[in-house]
Structure 1
Amino acid sequence: MSTQDNIYPIFDRMLSRHDKEQLLGQKGVMLWFTGLSGSGKSTVAIALERELQKRGLLCRILDGDNIRTGINANLGFSADDRRENIRRVAEVAKLFVDTGIITIAAFVSPTEDLRNLAQHIIGKDDFKEIFISTPIEECERRDVKGLYARARRGEVKNFTGISAPFEAPQHPALSLDTSKLSLEESVAQLLQLLNIK
């Protein structure tokens, strides 16, 4: 492509990802947490963020609470809206990863198709799928909002695990069952995956 054909010349003048990673002294990576509602995604993400902070590493958590109240506030829960939700999350995550930030996405993302979409946008080399594999019985037991009970009564439509399917990842980088692992054990396994002491 000639210079005249490049309609986005700013990218050629911006500092590179390598420059950002050198400044931060770390590598950008995407940890994509997937699992049922109540499986422990956000809890593990927050605990990992705190451990990374203690080690002087910059991390950003993206989850339903900080995405659906802001950038995705206009989306509902139809199949198309769920796909657009994940697409936008992945595009935002890519910006963080390309800035050298350890980025954690904590979303149900119930299908292989949705997770593949995210991986394609972010890039296979930067994408680590983490399956929070806590059994549904434990997720229901923890459900303080009563969403599972409401879904079982038919009051919540298309609720993943009850009235909508969840496709477990076939080859996650790591699988964590928070009904068997302590929070500390889960975080230790994630640090090991990231090769962080």
Structure 2
Amino acid sequence: MKKSIDTVWHHATVTRVRREQMNAHRSVVLWFTGLSGSGKSTLAHAVEECLYGHGCRTFVLDGDNIRHGLCADLGFSLEDRSENIRRIGEVSKLLVEAGVIVLTAFISPYRQDRERTRNLFLHDDFIEIFCDAPLEVCEQRDVKGLYARARAGEVKEFTGISSPYEIPINPDLTINTGSLPLDECVEQVLAVLRVRGIIPNQ
């Protein structure tokens, strides 16, 4: 994407470091990825609820919600999916600068898109979390009936059925969301945040 030569980055006096000091925690992106129905949104919101309860500044970027506004103009072609993730990455970067713990819940099926997003951040600012649930479990959980429609050919380019999902090769955390109770999944995420010094030990 070509950038205008007339735009100059404005450096704020209220910096990320100052915001983090006020918040008493670091900012970071928790990038939940996995098949539709793997538990990304459920886990992201459960983690946020826990963090919020401990006074952390958080925000969840959820796939469906984003497509109601910021990405309402995008479809589900390869190009549009890639642009969808690019926009989310840029929004996440702004929120990290604002001192927020950002939780994103997107299928983000392609490794190239996830890696491009990771490269927007410093090493410790991006935590890729693979929500590992078998396809059959995801289909059983499908309250929207999307898998059934995809298998009937009514939904084109549906990840896991007619479009690929590229499993993360070396995610920061893999959680068996197909069988583990939600509270155990939440604790695994919080444990990583404590170990990395994102949040204090509580």
1:50 to partner: Cα distance: 0.6
Determine the structure 2 residue equivalent to 1:118: 117
Show structure 2 runs of 5+ residues with no match. none
Task: State the aligned residue count.
Answer: 192
**How do 1:42-53 residues align onto structure 2 when only pairs under 5 Å count?**
42-53=41-52
SS of match in other structure, 2:47: helix
Aligned to 1:87: 86
TM-score by length of 2: 0.90
- Tell me how far apart the structure 2 counterparts of residues 38 and 9 of structure 1 sit (CA, whole Å): 39
* 1:9 CA displacement: 5.8
1:8 alignment counterpart: 8
SS in 2 for 1:60: strand
1:2-60 CA distances to partner (integer Å, 9 max, x unpaired)?
Answer: xxx9952631x432111111121110001000000000000001110110011111111
Deviation string 1:52-78 (CA, Å, 9 cap, x unpaired) is 011111111001122110111111111
State the Cα distance separating 1:96 from its structure 2 match: 0.7
Cα distance in 2 between the residues matched to 1:84 and 1:9: 22
Q: Which moved more, 1:121-130 or 1:178-187?
A: 121-130
Question: What is the identity percentage for the equivalent residue pairs of Structure 1 and Structure 2?
Answer: 51
**Gap change, CA 1:83 and 1:61, over 3 Å in 2:** same
Map of 1:93-132 to 2, 5 A cutoff?
A: 93-132=92-131
Deviates most, 116-125 or 158-167: 116-125
Bigger helix fraction: 1
Structure 1 runs (4+) greater than 6 angstroms displaced:
none
Unaligned runs of 5+ in 1: none
1:37 aligned onto 2:43: no
